[in-house]
Structure 1
Amino acid sequence: MKDIEIAQKSEMLPITEVAQKVGLTADEIEQYGKYKAKISLPLSAREQTKRKLVLVTAINPTPAGEGKSTVTVGLGDAFSLLNKKVMIALREPSLGPVMGMKGGATGGGYS
């Protein structure tokens, strides 16, 4: 099955349900439609528990891309399988798949 077919068969969860899974309340997210939201800035003051951040970046772009989105989604999946609470922010997901040029980590296949 092609990535696009897998993605089209997938059922998206409402963002409120996703937020609830990581311990966020409805007041702590600003919804943009049914499936997207931003997290409220004052949230950082709510809990002073230890959190971890993994930053995936690259400096020298290549025509095919560096694979940052693929690595990010893979890390998120891996931590989730370890029963860790995971959030991923893909600030500027690739337009390559839209143009039919490259990868689909940000929305194709099982990602």
Structure 2
Amino acid sequence: MPFKSDIEIARGAVKLPIVEIGGKVGIGSDDLLPYGHDKAKVSQGFIDSVQGNASGKLILVTAINPTPAGEGKTTTTVGLGDGLNRIGKKAMICIREASLG
């Protein structure tokens, strides 16, 4: 059985509405400025309201000098987000469009 290509996986994905995703981390629909059903910007008002929130954290995943096979940043990022959610943390990831190889 051959493996699916990245584009086949992407086309087969079931996307959640952005309002549902925002709600999971406490961002209400009034604070989302939607671009279609699966993308949105967060309002400046919401950003201002959580400024100084001591429990918020930002984790950056990066690398340098990539190998031909890549460095595994996307896999690491997705796994990190899934793992944090699994232990009950409110986690969200943001990645660029992965290669379509």
RMSD: 2.2
SS at the partner of 1:45? Answer: helix
Are positions 1:76 and 2:92 aligned together? Answer: no
- Percent identity, please: 45
Q: Which residue in 1 is equivalent to 2:53? A: 49
| Distance in 1 of aligned mates of 2:72 and 2:78 | 10
| Distance in 1 of aligned mates of 2:71 and 2:37 | 31
| Distance in 2 of aligned mates of 1:71 and 1:46 | 30
Are positions 1:21 and 2:39 aligned together? Answer: no
Instruction: Name the structure, 1 or 2, with higher relative contact order (CA <8 Å, separation 6+).
Output: 1
Are positions 1:12 and 2:15 aligned together? Answer: yes
SS at the partner of 1:38? Answer: strand
Name the TM-score, length of structure 2 as normaliser: 0.78
| Distance in 1 of aligned mates of 2:59 and 2:31 | 22
| Distance in 1 of aligned mates of 2:45 and 2:68 | 39
For structure 2, which runs of at least 5 residues remain unmatched after alignment? none
